[in-house]
């Protein structure tokens, strides 16, 4: 394994959730920016820097914007699943969720030529059965949980917490977790909260400091590890934030032994090294 791997991941939500919710025009236009401006800008930067990345694309985005999808696939990036209409899995019935997962996997297979191996829950929200359904659908990894930072781990099945028996932890399954974190997500730093509160809008310099310090810490203390950054084209695609992303890439490239890679490849290499 390289000294440190950085995975730039993009949740290409676009208007998938706005369509489901019936969002008003301004919110829909904010989401459309991701397809119209953000994604092409990001893809141009990645091509210029020779970086392969992972895109979690809702089925609705995938099919509504075929040119955007083709540009991602054509750029050599991984397409992984992210719901159909960016559903909150905790609100779905089990059969509904199973059908949605299969619909997403089939749509990605149609455009990418191979069944996807990665799933990221929209809103990082999982229902009680979600991880089991994702594993049973043949996915190799999920990227929605936070129990580690720079190390992958296998997801447990069937944890039980009761007053009478306390906490009983189930056995590890096959599904690999690629952990995420709010600090390494562009959205909570840069976008208004759900109530419209804009106080949280950060200076890019602040976010660059957090992300770069995560990078340096992982480089020093987590050999062979992975730093996963979550971004959204409608958010990171704004000029000042693109400039920040370029500086973050510069900071990673300045460290010895740092590579950028797609999650499917990192997960496959990790799984092979654990088996060996
Ligand atoms: Zn999303």
Q: Report how far ligand 1's centroid is from the alpha carbon of 198 (Å).
A: 20
Query: Residue 43: pLDDT band by 50, 70, 90 thresholds?
Result: very high
Q: Report how far ligand 1's centroid is from the alpha carbon of 257 (Å).
A: 31
| 56 closest CA partner among 188, 221, 233, 184 | 233
CB atoms within 10 A of CB 263: 27
Helix (H, G, I), strand (E, B) or coil at 4: strand
Report pLDDT for 244.
98
Report pLDDT for 217.
98
% of the chain at pLDDT higher than 70: 97
The CATH number for 250's domain is 3.20.20.370
Instruction: For 17-39, write each residue's pLDDT tens digit.
Output: 999 999 999 999 999 999 999 99
pLDDT at residue 276 above 80? no
Query: Residue 196: pLDDT band by 50, 70, 90 thresholds?
Result: low
Contact 171, 158 (CB under 8 A): yes
Report pLDDT for 245.
98
Q: Report how far ligand 1's centroid is from the alpha carbon of 25 (Å).
A: 19
Report pLDDT for 158.
85
Report pLDDT for 199.
64
Q: Report how far ligand 1's centroid is from the alpha carbon of 268 (Å).
A: 24
Cα–Cα dist 52/62, whole Å: 19
Domain that holds residue 235: 4-159+168-275
pLDDT at residue 14 above 80? yes
| 174 closest CA partner among 140, 137, 131, 130 | 140
pLDDT at residue 202 above 80? yes
Q: Report how far ligand 1's centroid is from the alpha carbon of 265 (Å).
A: 22
Q: Report how far ligand 1's centroid is from the alpha carbon of 272 (Å).
A: 29
Report pLDDT for 236.
98
Instruction: For 110-161, write each residue's pLDDT tens digit.
Output: 999 999 999 999 999 999 899 999 999 999 999 999 999 999 999 998 889 9
Report pLDDT for 272.
94
% of the chain at pLDDT higher than 90: 93
Instruction: For 216-264, write each residue's pLDDT tens digit.
Output: 999 999 999 999 999 999 999 999 999 999 999 999 999 999 999 999 9
Cα–Cα dist 40/58, whole Å: 17
Cα–Cα dist 45/255, whole Å: 20
Q: Report how far ligand 1's centroid is from the alpha carbon of 13 (Å).
A: 5
Q: Report how far ligand 1's centroid is from the alpha carbon of 276 (Å).
A: 35
Q: Report how far ligand 1's centroid is from the alpha carbon of 86 (Å).
A: 6
Q: Report how far ligand 1's centroid is from the alpha carbon of 68 (Å).
A: 16
pLDDT at residue 186 above 90? yes
Q: What is the pTM of this model?
A: 0.96
Query: Residue 200: pLDDT band by 50, 70, 90 thresholds?
Result: low
CB atoms within 10 A of CB 252: 23
Q: Report how far ligand 1's centroid is from the alpha carbon of 154 (Å).
A: 23
Query: Residue 2: pLDDT band by 50, 70, 90 thresholds?
Result: very high
Q: Report how far ligand 1's centroid is from the alpha carbon of 193 (Å).
A: 15
Cα–Cα dist 176/156, whole Å: 10
Q: Report how far ligand 1's centroid is from the alpha carbon of 50 (Å).
A: 25
Q: Report how far ligand 1's centroid is from the alpha carbon of 85 (Å).
A: 10
Q: What is the mean pLDDT of residues 207-214?
A: 98
As for how many domains the chain has, the answer is: 1
Q: Report how far ligand 1's centroid is from the alpha carbon of 156 (Å).
A: 24
pLDDT at residue 195 above 80? no
Q: Report how far ligand 1's centroid is from the alpha carbon of 11 (Å).
A: 5
Cα–Cα dist 7/13, whole Å: 18
């Amino acid at each position: 394994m390289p000294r440190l791997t950085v995975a730039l991941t993009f949740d290409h939500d676009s208007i998938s959730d706005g369509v489901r919710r019936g969002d008003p025009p301004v919110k829909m236009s904010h989401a459309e920016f991701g397809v119209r401006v953000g994604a092409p800008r990001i893809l141009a930067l990645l091509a210029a820097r020779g970086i392969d990345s992972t895109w979690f694309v809702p089925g609705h985005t995938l099919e509504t914007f075929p040119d955007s999808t083709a540009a991602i696939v054509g750029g050599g990036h991984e397409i992984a699943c992210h719901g159909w209409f960016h559903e909150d899995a905790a609100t779905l019935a089990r059969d509904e969720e199973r059908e949605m997962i299969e619909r997403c996997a089939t749509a990605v297979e149609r455009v990418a030529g191979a069944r996807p191996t990665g799933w990221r829950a929209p809103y990082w929200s999982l229902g009680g059965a979600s991880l089991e359904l994702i594993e049973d659908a043949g996915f190799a990894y999920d990227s929605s949980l936070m129990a580690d930072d720079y190390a992958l781990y296998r997801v447990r099945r069937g944890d039980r917490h009761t007053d009478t028996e306390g906490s009983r932890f189930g056995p590890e399954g096959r599904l690999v977790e690629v952990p995420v974190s709010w600090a390494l997500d562009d959205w909570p730093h840069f976008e208004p909260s759900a109530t419209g509160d804009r106080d949280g809008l950060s200076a890019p310099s602040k976010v660059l400091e957090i992300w770069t310090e995560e990078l340096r810490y992982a480089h020093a203390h987590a050999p062979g590890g992975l730093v996963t950054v979550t971004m959204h084209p409608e958010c990171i695609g704004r000029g000042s934030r693109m400039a920040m992303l370029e500086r973050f890439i510069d900071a990673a490239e300045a460290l010895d032994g740092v590579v950028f890679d797609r999650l499917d490849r990192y997960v496959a290499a990790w799984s092979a090294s654990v088996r060996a």
